[in-house]
Amino acid sequence: MKIDRRSFLSFVIGGAAGTALSPLPWKLTDDLSIWSQNWPWTPVPQKGETTYVNSTCTLCPGGCGISVRLVEDRVVKIEGMAGHPVNDGGVCTLGVSAPQLLYGPTRVKTPLKKVNGSWRKISWDAALDEVAAKLNELRSSGQSHALACISDSDRGTVPELLNRFLSVYGSPNFIRTPSILDNYELALYLTQGVRATPGFDIQNSDFVLSFGSGLVEGWESPVYMFRGNSALKEKGGRLDQIESRLSKTAAKSDKWIAVRPGTEGALALGLGNVIIKESLFDQDFVANNTAGLAEYQKLVTDGFSPAVVSKMTGLDAADITALAREFAGARRPLAICGRGAGTSPGSLQDFLAVHILNALVGSINRDGGLVAVPEPEYISWPDVEMDATAAKGMQQARVDGAGRGKYRSTRYLLNRLPEIVNSSQDSPVQVLFVAGANPMYSMADTAAVAQAFDKIPLVVSFSSFMDETAASADLILPDHVFLEGYEDVPFARGLPQPVIGLAQPVVEPLYNTMHTGDAVIQLAQKMGGTVGDAFAWESYAACLEETLADKWDTLLENGYWVDDEFSIAAQPQEFETDSSKFEFSNSDVNALPVYHTVRAAGDDSFYPLLLVPYDTMRLTSGYIGSPPFLVKALEDTVLTGNDVLVEINPATAKKLGLSDRKYATLTTPKGKAKVKIYFFDGIMPGVIAIPRGLGHTAYDKFLAGKGVNYNTLTEPLEDAATGLDAAWGVRAKLSKA
Amino acid sequence: MSTEDKANEISAQAQEQASLTPSTDPEQPDPDQGAGGPITLFFILGLVASLVLGWVIFPQLLYSRKQQPIQFNHALHNELVDEGCESCHFFREDGTYSGVPKLAQCIDCHEEVQGESEEEAKFVNEYVLKEREVPWLVYSRQPDCVFFSHVAHVKLGQMECVTCHGHIGESESLKPYEANRISGYSRDIWGKNIAGIKFNSWDRMKMDDCSECHVSNNVNQGSVQTLRGGCFVCHK
């Protein structure tokens, strides 16, 4: 029998017929379709029991209560806690992204030591021993004040533990990262004599006049401000936004008042001029509860008439007068200050000018106004026993120059540190702790910061993530992420009432990390002597429970504690100043009643444009880097591919010969960057803007290398009165790439 | 040589060959009479081979077989509990279904070895003492694109477990778990029968089986999203 072509074909036809009569093709089709609908590499949440744990978010100083949803032992979602005084069920984009920070690839998983430029894993014991040895060496050579610590807060048990460590060790150099809180604290201290944080009762106001504050862009406690903004709208209240750029807040406001950048404080004084000239102020409050009006009156009458302010701000004089009348005529007016999300302190005189507006209309310590919320007082630990070294070290002047001389009223001046280190032969800081902060990214003029950090022999980072500062540190003692341990959240920024939150462990620590509180306690105990004696706690958790005492059970159960006895209306109208009155003028600092225009750095003939940063809820610019959810949610008017877009008014762009969506080179006195042009009618001609929060070099592939870091392009501008960074922008030029 | 001449020559050669053929192979049937024999044979060969491949070999290749980590005796346990299946496969307070029991439940009775069963000893030693969850293989796990709520069927629909899961509650051992090598899901979804023929309601758990019941009971035939067509009832 010969197998020829015909027989082969008939075999194939037979095979085809048989295959069609068998389940093979139909079953394969079905299986392939199921396979392609359920790609095995697509992650699927695990099945299991759902539970919720009440906790507090610590990703920003907002203090939101959160309800963490778990399936078995896996965090799957962060929800806002219903009924919480800050956020009442709401949650922001960063909060919902927290699981990505917990499980993401950028975590530091174990203590690391840098050896010849590369990281080596090291045990906790060895790492702490190493720091203890170095600190003991420094201390025995009488250089205890050469230890400094940068922390994102100075309140709550962890910052207090760090501060206590520095004190008993003998260093006054505890430094808090800067923000508008510095200026608000100072404004409250100078005018009202209190050490307090400002609370803004936006929900009960009927006219909020915002001097550039990003009410829906992360200013103070973001979710509380969202709620405040909504309540304001629902009650028929009014929000006027004073800003040179149509921000999201400006777009949502009832009136957008575009002034030249940097002239917001002048406008506040102009409004004061009209209010005083036309006697629109709260007669009762001003007569009974204030002092020094004459000096303020002289300042605004002489220098800030509507005509003058019109020239400075670019507004119509008639509009300024009308705005002053409307503001003073409102039932519960409230003026707020601090640009964007408030990450940069700004100039004290602006804060005083705006704060004084509130005093003029009597909106201090009353519903719908600004409330001085007392600093929390639940931390009362036994006094430390200071040995001679510690006492001597504490007598030394602070390395950043805060608290003495012309900056005697300022508490912390981190922005001055890089220059001081760079201009000394030997760094005055020999050991630097960095906890909850990423100064290498978030401080202006990053090149100078990097140079200074390079000069410090031992930089110890307590970061949970491989951020810029951690990456350039000598040692990383990684902290838990907030979902892995207990920690108190001592207050919520901008909330007009005292609240304490508690972050609780939601999952067991995933890696070989240690709570910074524990790390400090163990480090002190390793050092022994009076330092060890000051930290007699068994663990941080024990310390926390003991500290919170009678509030602990409430905190465990609810996740927060509020002072029920606190009410805004019951706050005193008598102040703690020498005169017991609200002080309009203050000779203590070189701020109001003297006003200096803060100019942007750079020569305006070479740099014709003004570059200002803006904030968005879809980016973070502090210690926490934006998780992928946020970067993914960025509009293509902010970032396309890896290119940041610079907002420019089409009229300005045309003059410079720039085209929309085309590459350009952005140059400032501090640096250069490749950007893309974005024609935006909402920005003032001559002004350009880029977002804060991009241009990371560290973290993971989802964040690094995208866009430009504004801080690499700018430099700090020392405020004459406080020494804080008063810069609001920098001069720049744009040219075709 | 012209084209015509060449054609004639080829034709002549062909005739010559044809006349020679019978003499060289007398057994071969005359090709003019048709090639019925071998062609049919090859057709049948192909048919049979592919039928064997499709019906017998293919199912063998398609599924991998795995034994359960522990041979569990449902019948034995069922006699000891009061509330039938729900004694172990219970609903949580929030209405979600617990599925296969976790170690925590088993430990209530099996903290130590109780009987003489080797499987129980293995269970206690390998899992209870080591605090490891048993990696049970779930025969009835639907693909991830399917949303299924037990409470809607068992509590609201008053359905019996047997309707979908068969008489596993009366079984004394667990059959091998067969995983589809392509999709990764259990063979029980398609059903044991490779042709997809079913005799009992629990023999197969494909989409048509779900919809068959939904149609005959006239429940949930339109999803809230579309108001017509029931796709989104299960495919959320």
> What ipTM does the predicted assembly reach?
0.82
Contact A207, A240 (CB under 8 A): yes
Reported as a single tens digit per residue, the pLDDT across B48-107 is 999 999 999 999 999 999 999 999 999 999 999 999 999 999 999 989 999 999 998 899
CB-nearest partner of B38 from A7, A34, A37: A7
Give bridge partners of residue A648 from the DSSP assignment. Answer: A679, A688
Does residue A445 sit in the same domain as residue A396? yes
Question: For position A714, which CATH number holds?
Answer: 2.40.40.20
Within-domain flag for A44: no
Does residue A185 sit in the same domain as residue A170? no
Residue A586 has pLDDT above 90, yes or no: no
Which residues does chain B have within 8 Å of residue A34's beta carbon, measured at their own beta carbons? 143, 180, 182-183, 185
Q: What are phi and psi of A610, to 5 degrees?
A: -110, 120
Question: For position A169, which CATH number holds?
Answer: 3.40.50.740
CB-nearest partner of B55 from A1, A13, A23: A23
A329 HSE (CA, 13 A, CB side): 9
Within-domain flag for A505: no
Within-domain flag for A68: no
Percent of chain A at pLDDT exceeding 70: 100
Amino acid making up residue B119: E
| Chain B residue set in contact with A, beta carbons under 8 Å | 35, 38-51, 53-55, 58-59, 62, 92, 94, 96, 98-99, 143-145, 180, 182-185, 190, 194-196
CB-count burial class (<10 Å; 0-12, 13-18, 19+) for A29: exposed
Does residue A435 sit in the same domain as residue A370? no
Contact A467, A699 (CB under 8 A): yes
Q: Measuring CA to CA, which residue among A627, A582, A653 is closest to residue A289?
A: A582
Does residue A230 sit in the same domain as residue A173? no
With cut-offs at 50, 70 and 90, classify the pLDDT of residue B5: low
The pLDDT of residue A571 is 83
Does residue A634 sit in the same domain as residue A579? no
Interface test with chain B among A10, A36, A46, by most B beta carbons within 10 Å: A10
Does residue A411 sit in the same domain as residue A350? no
Contact A677, A655 (CB under 8 A): no
Are residues A18 and B35, on separate chains, in Cβ contact within 8 Å?
Answer: no
A170-182 residues labelled b (16+ CB within 10 A) or e (exposed):
bbbbbbbbbbbbb
Are residues A19 and B196, on separate chains, in Cβ contact within 8 Å?
Answer: no
Does residue A616 sit in the same domain as residue A537? no
Residue B18 has pLDDT above 60, yes or no: no
Are residues B43 and A14, on separate chains, in Cβ contact within 8 Å?
Answer: yes
Does residue A543 sit in the same domain as residue A462? yes
Q: Which two tokens stand for residue A432?
A: 């630097």
Within-domain flag for A419: yes
Mean pLDDT in chain A? 94
More confident residue, A302 or A598: A302
Does residue A172 sit in the same domain as residue A191? no
Within-domain flag for A426: yes
What average pLDDT score do residues B157-170 get? 94
- Between CA B54 and CA A416 the distance in angstroms is 79
Q: Which two tokens stand for residue B174?
A: 């667990």
Q: Which residue of A has its CA nearest to B179?
A: A31
Residue A114 has pLDDT above 90, yes or no: yes
A696: left (phi over 0), alpha (psi -120 to 50) or beta: beta
What average pLDDT score do residues A683-694 get? 97
DSSP percent split of chain A into helix, strand, coil, nearest 5 = 35, 20, 45
Cβ pairs A/B, distance under 8 A: 110
Show the domain range for A716.
609-736
Return the number of other C-beta atoms located less than 10 Å from residue A221's C-beta: 26
Q: Is the pTM of this model over 0.95?
A: no
B197-235 residues labelled b (16+ CB within 10 A) or e (exposed):
ebeebbbbbbeebbeebeeeeeeeeebeeeeeebeebbe
Residue B3 has pLDDT above 70, yes or no: no
Does residue A682 sit in the same domain as residue A543? no
Within-domain flag for A563: no
- Between CA A385 and CA A509 the distance in angstroms is 34
Reported as a single tens digit per residue, the pLDDT across A71-100 is 989 999 999 999 999 999 999 999 999 999
Long-range interactions of A2-10: CB distance < 8 A, separation 24+: A2/B38, A3/B42, A6/B35, A6/B38, A6/B39, A7/B38, A7/B39, A7/B41, A7/B42, A8/B42, A10/B39, A10/B40, A10/B42, A10/B43, A10/B46
Within-domain flag for A592: no
Amino acid making up residue A696: H
| Chain A residue set in contact with B, beta carbons under 8 Å | 1-3, 6-8, 10-19, 21-24, 26-28, 30-32, 34-35, 37-38, 40, 42, 44, 47, 49-50
Amino acid making up residue A143: Q
Within-domain flag for A168: yes
The Cα diameter of chain A in Å comes to 123
The pLDDT of residue A446 is 96
Residue B25 has pLDDT above 50, yes or no: no
Contact A256, A315 (CB under 8 A): no
Does residue A371 sit in the same domain as residue A429? no
What average pLDDT score do residues A39-44 get? 84
Q: Measuring CA to CA, which residue among A181, A186, A144 is closest to residue A166?
A: A144
More confident residue, A204 or A564: A204
Question: For position A261, which CATH number holds?
Answer: 3.40.228.10
Does residue A301 sit in the same domain as residue A401? no
Which residues does chain B have within 8 Å of residue A6's beta carbon, measured at their own beta carbons? 35, 38-39
Contact B94, A50 (CB under 8 A): yes
Q: Measuring CA to CA, which residue among A572, A588, A570 is closest to residue A292?
A: A588
- Between CA A565 and CA B25 the distance in angstroms is 117
Q: Which residues contact B94 (CB under 8 A, 6 or more apart)?
A: A50
Q: What are phi and psi of A228, to 5 degrees?
A: -60, -45
How many structural domains compose chain A?
Answer: 4
- Between CA B63 and CA B185 the distance in angstroms is 10
